[in-house]
Chains A and B, each alone.
Chain A
Amino acid sequence: MLLRHTPEEIVERQALMINPAKTCQPIGAMYAALGIHGCLPHSHGSQGCCAYHRSTLTRHYKEPVMAGTSSFTEGASVFGGQANLLQAIDNIFTIYEPEVIAVHTTCLSETIGDDIPQIVSKARDEGKVPEGKHVIHANTPSYVGSHVTGFSNMVKGMVDYLAEDGVEHKARTINILPGYVEPADIQEIKRLVKELGIDSIVFPDTSYVLNGPQTGKFSMFPEGGATVEDIRRSGRSMGTIALGPLASGAAARALDAKCKVPCEILDLPIGLNKTDEFINVLRKAAGVTVPDSITIERGQLLDVITDEQQYFYQKKVALVGDPDQLISLTEFLVSIDMWPIHIVTGTPGKKFEKRIAEITKDIPHKVNVRQAGDMFLLHQWIKNDPVDLLIGNTYGKYIARDEDIPFVRFGFPILDRIGHIYFPTVGYKGGMRLLEKILDVLLDRKDRDSPEESFELVM
């Protein structure tokens, strides 16, 4: 369907994004804020921003997503949004009674220059913030970075506002910043850490906030989420492991600077090697031994890799998504001899291209990689050099359909399937799930395309 509008000939574009592979900062900030228990994210801008973020998150998670908005009008855009935010803080604490309001800005409030800390302190002076309650904030101009930047800024905001330094760092806890991953991934990370017998503080934690059970009740503030106390205590932990440099690096460094908690910044634990890395760092940091249960999981993943290697090797793959995910995913695919040859992220940042080039340097095929790219470009690359598999968010299905390519959904947003809500792609189990999904589409394709005489029962 998009086919007829996408020419093969590639022209460099400067002024134009077609079929974006990113979205704007505030939605990432909203998602991060939902990972604090009892927190109401608040969008300081026009009503539409908040409605769009809530709708998109709802479509992705099939859950109610709660957030307030300053409901800017023409007046606010001329005279500033202070009055709106003051009124909003008052109203929210009065009726919804959250523990925390997490304010993020928008392009509008950034450009008119609202000073959020000043407004919040005014609210505090006027008694609009009840005793023991918190207002935190992050600046998230939509015209800088992407949704990942917004997530990163809000996680850093949590540290800036809530983390407290202890007299000494004697607590045995380790902080884990899970990165911009799904609730199911955070659950899996917590499970692994627990399995290792490590006492951890994980934030933000959207598990059971955006993948909660059906309870028969609607609750503004679901069960899950890191508590304010958790985040406060993170300043007294003996170390921080930050997963995903782009999403978690800034917060980890801020925690080090503010509370002297040393950090190690890792790639997301997607695939065998990257999960090994994560487990190893955890093991060393906490001085524990890896239990058999985890060794067995690892062995199972390895088993899938070896058993099915004939279907993986030399398959050409196109990838689109967020940098932290793509770096680990590319590494995983290369490690099983798949060939990621077109890799696009919408999020700007030159480092991405360098890292991907490094990871893919031994692939005996030309590799295209682009930061600040879009799906139109990816489609053009695929037209010029076809692939056997496409991995990306739901919007990839247009390309997959047009070019008749097996397609695995991975990333944000996924608007037409539900697996991502409940099943992880991180850790060894997540690796198995990814490989199962890849195998399913590749073998379904083989079944579909095999002539009758070579249509096989056993594969």
Chain B
Amino acid sequence: METGAQTIFKEREGQIHRKGEEPFEMTCNRDSLAGAVSQRACVFCGSRVVLYPIADALHLVHGPIGCAAYTWDIRGALSSGPELHRLSFSTDLQEKDVIFGAETKLYSALTELIDRHKPNAAFVYSTCIVGIIGDDLEAVCKRVSEEKGIPVIPVQSEGFKGSKREGYNAACRAMFRLVGMRETTGISPVSINILGDFNLAGEIWIIRDYFKKMGVEVVANITGDGRVADIQRAHGAGLNVVQCSGATVDLAKMMQEAYGIPYIQVSYFGVEDMAEALYSVAKHFEDKDPDILRKAQEVVREELSVLYPKLQEFRKDLEGKKAAIYVGGAFKAFSLVKAFRLIGMKVVLVGSQTGTEEDYRELYEITDEGTIIVDDSNPLELSSFLQEQDVDIFVGGVKERPIAYKLGVGFCDHNHERKEPLEGFVGMLNFAQEVYNTVMSPVWRFAPRKVKRAREV
């Protein structure tokens, strides 16, 4: 495993690009190669992560125990109120259920749970096995909904029907059934829904606060710290503000079609993108509130006056250090590339599990010569690129962390396991601080590659 090339499947060559090797072409959005140690997940996983932060809903996983066990409170999506979403409910399908069907079991599980917990809605997740045995989820949900008087919504998230991306779509279709169920009177014309933020480490509260300072009403959080009733009147908002690559953009599109609500895509990571997000919203509402742009500028100015001097401090030491990025969605990668640039660091590798051709073209545009761009990568590739590029910090999720650490490379979790908010202006500061503390930590001097280099000098 000396160079990258030896560890790449021939079939995957089209999914890796080194900037500078013209012309840019990227094969992506294709099924993973069977046998590859892929970092990707399934449809159910996609649906579950999107819907799970809705805290006053019941989330029942209809399947064998594993699907529920592995997704029990792993994301750290915070709620300011009810925490029903942090429990794990499963029909725990057994062999006899697989043979005879499990509709009755599902029915009694649902009624029992709804009676006990009085949720405002229930989501029932379909899993691989349910797709095969053919339980009629729709019919069971309809019956329970009628009997209990709350929305009971099937989520068509059979694992084998694609990757996380299809799961996002199933989640959006499920949520769309809630939208429009409640009155919208009293909602300000200057109002938005926040889509695609999951309130990890309390991030949505930071973003809501910025919008509040601009005089923008937030109707529904979709889905971080989410509430059923808010989503049911989300169609009363003037604008959908969508973050994160694929997760909730389908819902925005459905709402645009059905209710004529326009949407914009934003990112709250990094200074440029955060400010851009506020300005985009302000511009959208300028005709309704002529003062709004000034208010947005005020928020940005106030935040930056604190942030910039501190970032300059970090930059002094971080200038020229090297970063690698491998994340779920490409949208986050865009912001991270810019954020690293702001603190003087060079991104030498960037990739995602589920990026589209369009995404990778944008990555190509914003990265430097020589940057390696990858789609649906695997541990061998990633580790060989990390070594080849001699990176100082790797940004990724749970499965990437130990790879970095085994190589003696710093790591930053920009996924479920982040402990500090990374969104917003304060998030940029937290991010810079974490990157600084990690990259500059003296522990890396113990890493074998550094020891070796020190000996050679």
Chain A residues with a Cβ under 8 A of chain B:
1-2, 4-5, 7, 11, 13-20, 22-24, 26-27, 40, 42, 45-56, 58-59, 62-74, 76-77, 84-85, 87-92, 95-96, 106-108, 111-112, 141-144, 146, 214-220, 346, 376, 395, 398
Contact = CB atoms under 8 A, between A and B. Distances in A.
B455 interface: no
Contact of A214 (B74, B109, B380, B405): B405
Nearest to A46: B159
B37 interface: yes
B117 A71 contact: no
Contacts of A27: 66
A58 B87 CA distance: 22
Interface in B41-81: 41-45, 63-72, 74
Given A91-B34, A220-B380, A106 B91 contact: no
Interface string B17-41: 0000000000000011111111111
Contact of A24 (B31, B64, B163): B64
Contacts of B372: none
A71 B128 contact: no
A216 B448 contact: yes
B65 A45 contact: no
B66 A68 contact: no
A303 B162 CA distance: 59
20 contacts: A14-B108, A20-B72, A40-B37, A45-B128, A47-B32, A47-B163, A48-B43, A48-B45, A52-B66, A71-B31, A71-B34, A73-B162, A74-B160, A74-B161, A87-B35, A88-B34, A111-B132, A143-B97, A214-B408, A216-B407
Interface residues of B, number: 78
B69 A20 contact: yes
B65 A52 contact: no
Contact of B37 (A66, A112, A143, A144): A66
A48 B42 contact: yes
Contacts of B94: 143-144
A55 B112 contact: no
Contacts of A58: 398-399, 401-402
Contacts of A107: 63-64, 93, 98, 127-129
Given A58-B398, A108-B160, A214-B408, A71 B45 contact: no
A217 B407 contact: yes
B196 to A, nearest CB: 21
Given A47-B42, A73-B31, A91-B35, A17 B133 contact: no
B64 A143 contact: yes
B68 A20 contact: yes
Chain B CB within 10 A, most for which of A52, A56, A88, A346: A52
B383 interface: yes
Given A5-B117, A395-B72, A49 B447 contact: no
A418 B104 CA distance: 42
A217 B406 contact: yes
Contact of B9 (A14, A40, A54, A95): A95
Contacts of A11: 112
Contacts of A22: 65, 69
B7 interface: yes
Contact of B116 (A7, A19, A49): A7
A68 B36 contact: yes
Given A24-B65, A67-B37, A55 B70 contact: yes
B113 interface: yes
Interface in B83-115: 83-84, 86-95, 97-98, 104-106, 108-109, 112-113
B150 interface: no
B406 A214 contact: yes
B112 A16 contact: yes
Interface string B247-289: 0000000000000000000000000000000000000000000
A48 B44 contact: yes
A49 B90 contact: no
Contacts of A74: 160-162
Contact of A16 (B33, B44, B98, B109): B109
Nearest to B102: A15
Contacts of B93: 107, 143
A24 B402 contact: no
A322 B74 CA distance: 21
A63 B402 contact: yes
B4 interface: no
Nearest to B96: A143
